[in-house]
Amino acid sequence: MRISEAIAQRIINLCNINNISINRLAILSGQTQSTVQSIVNGKSKNPKILSIVRICDSLKITLDEFFKDDLFKDIDIEL
């Protein structure tokens, strides 16, 4: 799995855990729906760390908690 795919899946999983939609996550994180949607849909192959930080802040988790998931084990390095 590529890192962008793992990030997208982690966001989807966190939305499911928190029972919120992608649109609601965008509002909570102060980002446009299109920004969050492009990360989740895979259009954004290299999501900005600031976008992920904002998502983490809105979900009240740390970056460490975000990336400390089995999805990020054995990921393919995108060059």
Going by pLDDT thresholds of 50, 70 and 90, the confidence category of residue 78 is low
Q: 17, 47, 2: which is closest to 25 by C-alpha? A: 17
- For 3-70, which CATH superfamily applies? lambda repressor-like DNA-binding domains (1.10.260.40)
- Write the DSSP symbol of residue 2: B
DSSP symbols for 30-73: T--HHHHHHHHTT--SS--HHHHHHHHHHHT--HHHHH-SGGGT
What digits encode the pLDDT tens for the residues 3-45? 999 999 999 999 999 999 999 999 999 999 999 999 999 899 8
